[in-house]
Structure 1
Amino acid sequence: MSSTPPRPRALFAMGRRHRDALFPSAAVDRLTRLVDIDPHVVAEDFAPVPHLAAVEILITSWGCPPLDDAVLTRMPALKAVVHAAGSVKHHVTDACWDRGLLVSTAAAANAVPVAEYTVAAILFANKRVLEIGGLYREHRNALDWTARFPGFGNYRRTIGLVGASLVGRRVLELLRPHDFDILLADPHLDPEAARSMGVRLVELDELLAASDVVSLHAPALPETYHLLDARRLSLLRDGATLVNTGRGSLIDTESLTAEALSGRIHAVLDVTEPEVLPATSPLYSLPNVLLTPHIAGSLGGELLRITSSALDEVERYCSGREFAYPVTRAALTTSA
């Protein structure tokens, strides 16, 4: 007589408010059919959590404490970390890789709304929607927009993507139906791979000088800190728009502020350095700058896409299959 194998023991490790947002009752019901978990226990700090020794799967998200040697010593049965968010750099340590833990991420799911925001920003930038909307609000009558913005519009504009990340690749897919010329700069990509993606690989300086809109999708690494400094920002053509949904540290904020104050370029910034900018920053009020408070990523109902991805990964693990979205130690050296 066969018996049903025991379900693996799992634990939520994240900020409680994130657990509540990511795992409504329907998601918890699906999860409890897959694993043995107390949905009311959420580890924001591992120190007070009892019975860690039996935990086989950690379901993590924003606010998960670091999984260092001391924590892993208390979890000898731990085999997998399923991250219901994007980057795992904040909690997956070298000790996890040394243990040989399996790690999964929902970064691909989180990339979707970021890419959607980016494409909307690109289309609005070329159409000068923000500037025209502001002028229309002030004057309350139609002006000669073609005379005011000669050549505006999206046809045959050149879009430069910096970084072939998950978001960068998703942006590329969403841009395909439009009549754009697309350039890509990424030091970790070879020309053949770029051609297979339908884009032309160029050096960053060439991309900056040739693009009507530049969108940043590079990771925050030591070599990408202030990737766009004063010299590179000066390469942007007059009237170009810079979109940053990546990391604030990619841009030298002081140099960008100077360029924006001159009125020479436009910017759409969902991330900044620092985040939040000082209240005195001119970037808040400049008509050629749109600041949003880090909203491009998954929020509201979009969080359920992340939940679905994480639950799919838990199901794959429980059925003995490989993760669809695994993370490796090597991959983290060139990712966000």
Structure 2
Amino acid sequence: MQRRHLLSSVLASALWAGLPLVSSTALAQEAAWPAKGPIKLIIPFAAGGTSDILGRLIAERLQAGLKQTVVVENRAGAGGVLGADAVAKSPADGYTLLLGTIASHAINPAMRAKMPYDAAKDFAPVNLLGTIPNVLLVGTDQPFKNVKDLIAAAKAKPDAIAFASAGMGSSQHMSGELFKLLAGADLAHVPYKGSAPAIQDVIGHQIPSSFETITVALPHIQAGKVRALAVTTAQRSPLLPDVPTMQEAGVKGFEVASWQALYAPAGTPAAVVQRLNAEVEKILATTEVKARLYVLGLSHSANTPAQFAEFNRGELSKWQRVAKEGKVTLE
């Protein structure tokens, strides 16, 4: 009886305030979330990578905060597109979530003529979980001691110097494309099927340079197998405090971060999105999780769904410009 009176009061208040009318059934379902059943977190990449490690870290702790089972499902393919599409087409009830990335929500939508979902309209941004710097690397056999050396050589012999990436449409690839545009350095792109073979060919002196995430690159830098010339983020990484940013190295306006984020389908109730955001912020603020993020090379700044949505719009717009100016497309 008390619950019916409460719902009636909410409806009356909404009518008085001129707000959109919401059914009592919808309000009851929202208030009960997440009591209905398990929550599924789709990770659109294979097990073992940064997205998978981070997603499982979040899922395990969400279970405690929400007092509900959180099931992780890896659905890899097409640079994160397949998994993201599955979430976009799921019911907007808070029971299906996505561990999205710069690939699924900025680069692929910017580069592909046809996408199965609208990255700007088909998702409710929940939280920007973290950003990871990429690093410009060269082999130890190369004469380049800094970014200016590499730019000068590339300008002297256009396309004579190649850079490796983890694949077409990866953040590593697009770091190189942005570098070419802003530095005026014509490097030849050589895409690989993942980070491991790409960096191994730089180590083995098969290719002179690459852009790689700091997570993958750090052990090889520390072992002296490759040389780091610059990080791609606006600030230096605490993991490589002596390595300058690309902007410090002379490439004005250069800023790239590979990022990981949490999304729900568009139309998910705002209260559910806010609850998820709050629970995730609690998780990311713990000492244990902060330590894990540090090891992964991830930096997190507290953010609201609205702040993350604004960030996402800026990223999409940025990579649309880079793809257009660099004439880079994915089919």
Normalising to structure 1: TM-score of the pair? 0.31
* Greater strand proportion: 2
Q: Which has the higher contact order (CA 8 A, sep 6+)?
A: 2
* Greater helix proportion: 2
Normalising to structure 2: TM-score of the pair? 0.32
